[in-house]
Every structure is written in structure tokens, then in C-alpha cells.
């Protein structure tokens, strides 16, 4: 059984969401090693008591539960399966939890390679953005073995409030694709509603007070639409990462013979924004397509 007394957590990726998530683990009393490509981004965690590791390899040698939330599938593959990677250098009975949104096929590959070394791999992407990470209210979608999931569930409970084992390795990533597909079309509707309200001469704040409590209500409408009205386009989740996610979903849909017209439209609009230089802004910056 994993307890705070026999658990050392390694955390890789202290960006917009990862920094808050790692902070919750520290506050819960877990010994924590951190690594991120830009050391300055982890300095606040180090000041709070986390220990710095110089490489993923060092994390693999010191921790028996390792959580990652990084950028792209290529980054995940390098961090897990590269020369200095977690699986390559990890120890038997280590639990690996990748919370990056990545491909289901890569999740399966990591699971297989980890199993060969007596390690346990779970894919556990999250939803909730910077707010969910900060408030420890993330939705966590898990793929992997039931026994491994149950062992790390108390740790996941430190990070989120809606945690469900969806199935075998890769199931967490497939579930995250469902999440992103839903958000993609919804964000178009949210932004179009604001643009329409403005053009009609309405007070957008007043409109939001009404429609967020009706059938149109959604997380994006409640949390991101106010940011748009206040011209706050700082990222809770970056456009460039959303484009990556939508690309994965479109590829998986194509494999299954599914047409995704709503997702395809959102993907094309966001790619136009990225080409204009807005890739590091939050997804609510879709407003700039009309602006």
C-alpha cells in the first residue's frame, strides 16, 4: 500500500497547470522531486520544499510515483522511453502517471514497456484548466489496470474531484478526446454569442447572467466568457496545445471512419489564430478571429 511514509513523488512539468498540481502534493505532505525544462518555473515549488532533479533519469531513480504533465506526444515519448527516460531508467514497482493529453497509442506503448520492467503505467489526462488545477477540482480520466489505479487513487484525489477509471491503457486519452471534441464546438458558440451580443448593442455581462443559468450553460461559458469580455486572453490552456489535442482527435476519428465537421471547423479556426501569432494565448482568444 502506498502511504505518505513510503511514497516519494516525482513531478515533471510545472507549467500553467502543473505548478498548482505539484503544490497540492507538497501541501498534502508528500516528499516531492520536480523537473521541468525551464528551472525558473519550478523555483517557487523548490522554495516551498520540493527538491530539484536535473533530469527525468534522476526522477526515475529517486521516486516511486512519477507524474508528468508536459507538452506534446513527442515530449512524452522522450521523457518516458528516451535514453534518460522514466521507463528506461525506472525501478520495479514504480507507478507512472501521465497526465499530458497525448495519443492513445502512445499510452498503450508506454504501458507495455513499463510492464516489461515490472512498472505500472496509467494515462490520466485532465480537464479543468488553470482554475481546476488551482482549486484541486480537476476531472481526471484514467486508463490502465484497476489495481494500479486503486493504489494511486489517494494521490489523484489530492489533485481532482471527479476521477474515473475509464478502461484499459489508452482509455483515459480516448476520454480526453471526447472532452476536447465537446469543448471545440462549444467554444465557437460561446464566442459567437459574445460577438452577437456586442453587435446587437447588448451588455455582454448582463447577457451572461441570464444564459449561463439556462440550457446554454457550460464551463466555458461561465469561466472563459467573462475573461473575453474583460479582454483577458492569458492562458488557462494554450491555443497551441488545444490545436494539438484536436489534431489527435481528428486522427483517431479518421481511424474509426468518423466524420467530425464541428471539430474540423474549430481546428481550422484555431490554426488561423496560431498562424497570426496567437498560439500562446488561452483558448478564449478565439474571440480575436472576429475582433
Residues designated as active site: 176
Residue 161 DSSP SS3: strand
Topology of 174-290 in CATH?
1.10.1040
Two domains, one topology: 9-168 and 174-290 = no
Read off the pLDDT of residues 51-99 as tens digits, 9 standing for 90 and up.
999 999 999 999 999 999 999 999 999 999 999 999 999 999 999 999 9
Q: Give the mean pLDDT of 250-255.
A: 97
CA angle in degrees (0–180, nearest 5) for 262-267-271: 155
Looking at per-residue confidence, does 21 or 37 come out higher?
21
- What is the spatial distance between Cα 152 and Cα 2, in angstroms, rounded to a whole number? 7
Residue 1 has pLDDT above 90, yes or no: no
Q: Per the structure block, which three cell numbers stand in for 18? A: 502543473
pLDDT, average across residues 169-192: 98
pLDDT (0 to 100) of residue 176: 98
Q: Is 275 helix (H, G, I), strand (E, B) or coil?
A: helix
Predicted confidence band of residue 291 (pLDDT cuts 50, 70, 90): confident
The predicted pLDDT at position 4 comes to 87
Q: Which three cell numbers stand for residue 73?
A: 506526444
Grid cell 489508452 in the structure block, residue: 170
pLDDT (0 to 100) of residue 133: 96
Instruction: Tell me how far CA of residue 16 lies from CA of 32, 73, 132, 145, in angstroms.
Output: 18, 18, 11, 29
**Distances 238 to 16, 17, 119, 156, 251 between C-alpha atoms, Å:** 9, 11, 32, 23, 20
In eight-state DSSP terms, residue 230 is T
Domain assignments of the chain as residue spans, ordered by start = 9-168, 174-290
187, 220 Cβ separation under 8 angstroms: yes
Return the SS3 of 137: coil
pLDDT at 2 over 90: no
Question: What is the C-alpha R_g of the chain?
Answer: 20
Q: How far is CA 21 from CA 15, 157, 172, 204, in A?
A: 10, 11, 18, 33
Contact between 188 and 269 under an 8 Å Cβ cutoff? The reply is: yes
CB 32 within 8 A of CB 25: yes
CB atoms under 10 Å from CB of 224, counted, come to 29
**pLDDT for residue 186:** 97
pLDDT bracket for residue 141 (50, 70, 90):
very high
**What does the buried/exposed string (b/e) look like for 201-220 if buried means 16 or more CB atoms within 10 Å of the residue's CB?**
eeebeebbeebeeeeeebbb
193 grid coordinates: 454569442
For the cut 90, the answer to whether the pLDDT of residue 3 exceeds it is no
The CATH code of the domain at 9-168 is 3.40.50.720
User: What integer best gives the mean pLDDT of the chain?
Assistant: 97
Mean pLDDT of 185-206: 98
Amino acid at each position: 500500500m502506498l502511504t505518505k511514509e513510503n511514497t516519494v513523488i516525482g513531478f515533471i512539468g510545472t507549467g500553467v497547470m502543473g505548478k498548482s498540481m505539484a503544490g497540492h502534493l507538497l501541501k498534502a505532505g508528500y516528499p516531492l522531486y520536480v523537473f521541468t525544462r525551464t528551472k525558473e518555473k519550478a523555483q517557487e515549488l523548490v522554495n516551498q520544499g520540493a527538491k530539484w532533479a536535473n533530469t527525468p533519469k534522476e526522477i526515475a531513480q529517486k521516486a516511486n510515483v512519477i507524474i508528468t504533465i508536459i507538452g506534446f506526444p513527442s515530449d512524452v515519448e522522450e521523457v518516458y522511453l528516451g535514453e534518460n527516460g522514466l521507463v528506461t531508467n525506472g525501478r520495479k514497482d514504480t507507478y507512472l502517471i501521465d497526465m499530458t493529453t497525448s495519443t492513445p497509442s502512445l499510452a498503450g506503448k508506454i504501458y507495455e514497456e513499463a510492464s516489461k520492467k515490472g512498472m505500472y503505467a496509467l494515462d490520466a489526462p485532465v480537464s479543468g484548466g488553470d482554475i481546476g488545477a488551482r482549486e484541486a477540482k480537476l476531472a481526471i480520466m484514467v486508463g490502465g489496470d484497476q489495481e494500479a489505479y486503486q493504489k494511486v487513487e489517494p494521490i489523484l484525489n489530492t489533485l481532482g474531484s471527479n476521477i474515473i477509471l475509464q478502461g484499459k491503457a489508452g482509455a483515459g486519452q480516448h476520454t480526453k478526446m471526447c472532452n476536447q471534441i465537446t469543448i471545440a464546438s462549444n467554444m465557437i458558440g460561446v464566442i459567437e454569442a459574445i460577438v452577437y451580443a456586442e453587435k446587437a448593442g447588448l451588455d455582454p455581462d448582463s447577457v451572461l447572467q441570464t444564459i449561463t443559468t439556462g440550457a446554454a450553460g457550460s464551463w466555458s461559458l461561465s469561466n472563459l466568457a467573462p475573461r473575453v469580455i474583460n479582454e483577458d486572453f492569458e492562458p488557462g490552456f494554450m491555443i497551441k496545445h488545444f490545436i494539438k489535442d484536436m489534431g489527435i482527435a481528428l486522427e483517431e476519428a479518421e481511424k474509426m471512419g468518423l466524420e467530425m465537421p464541428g471539430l474540423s471547423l474549430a481546428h481550422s479556426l484555431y490554426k488561423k489564430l496560431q498562424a497570426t501569432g496567437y498560439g500562446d494565448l488561452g483558448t478564449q482568444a478565439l474571440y480575436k478571429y472576429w475582433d
